[in-house]
Amino acid sequence: MIIIGEKISVIAKKVREAMNARDPKPIQELALAQWKAGAHFIDLNIGPAEDNGEDLMKWMVESVQQVVQAPLCLDT
pLDDT tens-place string over residues 1-57: 999 999 999 999 999 999 999 999 999 999 999 999 999 999 999 998 778 899 999
- The residues, any chain, with a CB within 8 Å of residue 16's CB and separated by 6 or more, are 10
Report the alpha-carbon distance of residue 72 to residue 76 in Å, rounded.
Answer: 13
pLDDT of residue 51: 83
For the chain, how many structural domains are there in total? Answer: 1
Residue 47: left if φ>0, alpha if ψ -120 to 50, beta else—which one?
left
pLDDT of residue 39: 98
pTM above 0.85, yes or no: yes
Q: Which domain holds residue 9?
A: 4-75
